[in-house]
C-alpha cells in the first residue's frame, strides 16, 4: 500500500522536531474514505460523502511502531452507505467534519461499496508510514518516534539540542548505512533561531553551521541531525545538491538555508 503524511502533518512534525513547537496532534482521529487520492502534497483529494469514524489515538487502536509502520489494531467500520461509492483509500482527519487531512493510506485495490451496504477496514489493514524524501527527510528512527506520537499518544522524545554531522557516504532508504565524516558534530539548540518555522514545505537552518579546519581531506555528500554529540541516532538527513571537496586544514560551512528538511509520501 502507498500512503504518507500531508503537508499539514509535515509542518506540525518538523516544527515540533526543530523549533520546539507543540506537535498539536489530536487526541481523536477521524477516519474518512477517499474517492480521489491526495497529490504529492497531500492535497486535491476527494472525500467520501459518508461520515468519518472516530478512533482514539492510543496503543489499543494504533499499537507502537513495528517493521516500519504503525497499523490499526481495531477494525474501522462504516454504517450502510447512502449511495454507491468507489473508495481508493482512507485518511486521518483532525475533526469529525471539515478540519485537516494529516495522513492517508491507499488500498491495494479499489473498493466498490453499493448503496445500502456496510464497509469496514479490518484490523492491521492500514499501514501508516513515513520516510525519506528525494534530498532528505526523516530516518526510520525519527519516523518511529513521530508515528508513535501521532497515533498512540507517545512522547515525541526529540532532543533539546541537535548535533549536525557530515556524511561521506549517503544513507539508504531507511536513513541507515551511511558513513559519517571524521569531523566533530556541531551543536544547534532546537529553536526558531536555528531552525525557523516551516515555510514553503520546508524547515531550513536559520544560522550557519561552521566546521573548523579538517584533520584530513574528505568528500562531503550531505549532513544530518543526530541526538547526541557522538554515537546516538540520526533523525533527519539532507543530501547536498553537489559533493563538496574539503581539503586537509580547510574549513567548511553550511550557510544559512543551506540545509532543508521535508517529508514526503512513502510506499510500504
CA distance 77 to 118: 8
- What is the number of alpha carbons within 13 Å of residue 223 lying toward its C-beta? 29
Tell me the angle at which helices 7-18 and 140-152 cross, rounded to the nearest 10 degrees. Answer: 110
- The pLDDT assigned to 126 comes to 96
Instruction: Output the CA–CA distances (angstroms, integers) from residue 201 to 88, 147, 157, 233, 266, in the order listed.
Output: 26, 19, 23, 24, 16
- The pLDDT assigned to 268 comes to 44
Q: Which residues contact 235 (CB under 8 A, 6 or more apart)?
A: 17, 138, 139, 141, 142, 145, 158, 162, 224, 225, 226, 227
Give pTM, 2 decimals: 0.93
* Residue the block writes with cell 553550511: 254
> What string of pLDDT tens digits covers the 268 residues of the chain?
677 888 889 899 999 999 999 999 999 999 999 999 998 778 899 999 999 999 999 999 999 999 889 999 999 999 999 999 999 999 999 999 999 999 999 999 999 999 999 999 999 999 998 865 545 678 888 889 999 999 999 999 999 999 999 999 998 877 889 999 999 999 999 999 999 999 988 899 999 999 999 999 999 999 999 999 999 999 999 999 999 999 999 999 999 999 998 886 544 4
CA distance 7 to 73: 26
- The pLDDT assigned to 191 comes to 97
| 136 conformational bin, left if phi > 0, alpha if psi -120 to 50, beta if neither | left
CA distance 136 to 138: 7
Instruction: Output the CA–CA distances (angstroms, integers) from residue 106 to 42, 135, 180, 207, 255, in the order listed.
Output: 12, 24, 36, 39, 39
- The pLDDT assigned to 201 comes to 83
- The pLDDT assigned to 129 comes to 86
- The pLDDT assigned to 131 comes to 62
Amino acid at each position: 500500500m502507498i500512503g504518507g503524511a500531508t503537508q499539514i502533518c509535515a509542518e506540525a512534525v518538523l516544527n515540533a522536531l526543530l523549533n520546539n513547537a507543540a506537535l498539536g496532534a489530536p487526541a481523536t482521529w477521524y477516519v474518512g474514505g477517499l474517492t480521489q487520492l491526495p497529490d504529492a502534497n497531500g492535497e486535491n483529494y476527494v472525500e467520501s460523502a459518508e461520515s468519518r469514524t472516530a478512533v482514539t489515538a492510543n496503543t489499543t487502536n494504533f499499537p507502537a511502531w513495528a517493521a516500519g509502520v504503525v497499523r490499526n489494531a481495531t477494525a474501522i467500520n462504516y454504517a450502510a452507505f447512502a449511495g454507491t461509492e468507489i473508495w481508493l483509500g482512507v485518511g486521518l482527519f483532525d475533526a469529525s467534519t471539515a478540519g485537516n487531512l494529516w495522513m492517508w493510506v491507499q488500498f491495494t485495490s479499489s473498493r466498490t461499496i453499493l448503496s445500502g451496504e456496510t464497509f469496514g477496514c479490518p484490523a492491521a489493514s492500514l499501514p501508516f508510514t513515513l520516510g525519506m524524501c528525494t534530498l532528505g527527510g526523516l530516518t526510520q528512527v525519527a519516523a518511529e518516534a513521530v508515528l508513535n506520537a501521532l497515533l498512540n499518544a507517545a512522547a515525541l522524545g526529540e532532543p533539546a539540542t541537535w548535533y549536525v554531522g557530515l556524511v561521506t557516504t549517503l544513507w539508504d532508504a531507511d536513513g541507515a548505512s551511511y558513513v559519517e565524516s571524521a569531523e566533530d558534530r556541531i551543536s544547534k539548540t532546537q529553536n526558531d533561531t536555528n531552525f525557523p518555522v516551516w515555510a514553503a514545505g520546508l524547515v531550513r537552518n536559520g544560522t550557519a553551521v561552521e566546521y573548523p579546519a579538517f584533520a584530513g581531506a574528505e568528500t562531503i555528500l550531505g549532513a544530518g541531525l543526530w541526538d547526541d554529540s557522538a554515537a546516538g541516532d540520526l533523525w533527519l538527513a539532507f543530501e547536498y545538491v553537489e559533493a563538496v571537496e574539503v581539503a586537509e586544514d580547510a574549513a567548511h560551512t553550511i550557510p544559512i538555508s543551506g540545509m532543508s528538511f521535508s517529508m514526503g509520501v512513502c510506499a510500504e
